[in-house]
Amino acid sequence: MIKEQIQQLSKDIFGDTVANRRHLHANPELSFSEVNTSAFVAGKLEALGLTCQRMADNGIVALIQGEKPSENVVALRADMDALPITEANDVPYKSRNVGVMHACGHDAHTSSLLGTAQILTSLKSQFGGTVKLIFQPAEEKLPGGASLMIKEGVLENPKPQAVIGQHVMPLIDAGKVGFRAGKYMASTDELYVTVRGKGGHGAQPQQNIDPVIITAHMLTALQQVVSRFADPKSPTVLSFGKVIANGATNVIPNEVYLEGTFRTMDEKWRKEAHTRMKKLAEGLCESMGASCEFNIMKGYPFLINEEKLTASTRGHAEDYLGKENVLDLDIWMAAEDFAYYSQVADSCFYRLGTRNESRGITSSVHTPTFDVEESALEMSTGLMAYLALKQLGN
């Protein structure tokens, strides 16, 4: 049976998959700078006899054509970029690029998809249809590599009936995966705000227009956009993580600078909230004698897993791994540019467990001590190959 063949092939190439992951982990590159990573991926694909097409500068697309007759197409996506984090792990494959680290598992995603490509190319005579491999740059930075690749036609010629992606999850034990149908991850917008007043001596507040106090009022008031205008059934988050008032104990500054994030799962409400936040902040500042520059950088949309595709993909995962190893996921207010694919094509984005408490591999993504349990890579390569062939109708 094809399942047993895939499982054996994933074992056979496990060493290659780990070696690829460790090479990528040791040589991370930031968003929109994945030059060497892209070349590495292309070299591996070309060694399999595949033709690579470049998109969005560093993106790589390749097709695996089954030899049996079928016009069905499925796309598999992996992201390749790293984060501006200095790695704290003491491992042989520690990042050699100081200040840059694969702290979100994209090295695991890329090496897994390379392994899946190895499996599928060796099985070409046994399936029909086309598997489109998408190695995507710049997931971590707006406007997101997915949006650029879609604009350049990654979902055309041929057009996939489904797009499938996986992402590591350190909350889930290695050997397990998680699925959620419907809305899964939030949209994300970046907020950049400057409150301008009139600075001066802290002992003479009557002569100043204090932007610090005004900002404090504004931060509190903005939370009412969430608590009093958002539908309680629609998850919404507004957080400010950066506030700079560069005065002193007795110096009121001229301005205060803020950065924050706004996230939700409803595009209509998202647009309304943008208007409400901006109007409230500007009006409040004006009423207190200050001015406000409220800029919103619109980011990724919310991610939605198509119901039927996700149900069938989950069923195939249960068949491949055993029902006890397939978990339900809750909504997650983090964001992912895979959402762009989900907005224009039937898509399924699932989670790959990479946790191993006995080895201390428990750190969250985006932290200096993040790592993955590499045994998960054997399962990840085979599972994605199996899901692709099942979605193609084989």
Task: Extract the runs of DSSP E, i.e. beta strands, from 59-117.
Answer: 59-65, 68-79
The reported pLDDT for the residue numbered 302 is: 97
CATH architecture of 189-298: 2-Layer Sandwich (3.30)
Select 2-186+301-391's CATH number: 3.90.1150.10, 3.40.630.10, 3.40.50.150, 3.40.190.10. Answer: 3.40.630.10
pLDDT band per the 50, 70, 90 thresholds, residue 99 = very high
Place of tokens 């090479």: 23
pLDDT of residue 263: 98
Residues of the chain with CATH 3.40.630.10: 2-186+301-391
CA gap 350, 89 in Å, rounded: 27
The mean of the pLDDT values for the chain is 97
State residue 313's pLDDT score. Answer: 98
pLDDT at 64: 98
Task: Kindly give, in sequence order, each residue whose CB lies less than 8 Å from that of residue 243, ignoring residues fewer than 6 positions away.
Answer: 215, 219, 256, 257, 258
Q: Write out the residue limits of the CATH 3.30.70.360 domain(s) in the chain.
A: 189-298
- Does an H or E element contain 255, and which? strand 255-264
- Number of helices and strands (H, E) in the chain? 10, 16
Catalytic-residue membership of 81: yes
CA dihedral of 119, 91, 86, 25, whole degrees rounded to 10: -20
| Contact present, 135 and 44 (Cβ < 8 Å) | no
Cβ 238 vs Cβ 223: under 8 Å: yes
Is residue 139 annotated as a catalytic residue, yes or no? yes
By C-alpha distance, which of 261, 381, 282 is closest to 333? 261
pLDDT tens string 104-146:
999 999 999 999 999 999 999 999 999 999 999 999 999 999 9
**Active-site residue, selected from the candidate residues 29, 81, 140, 255:** 81
Mean pLDDT of 83-96: 98
Residue from 107, 139, 189, 266 carrying the catalytic annotation: 139
Encode pLDDT of 304-356 as tens digits: 999 999 999 999 999 999 999 999 999 999 999 999 999 999 999 999 999 99
Supply the pLDDT for residue 394: 75
* Band of residue 1 on the pLDDT scale cut at 50, 70, 90: confident
pLDDT at 225 over 80: yes
The model's pTM: 0.94
- The label of the residue with tokens 């740059």 reads 137
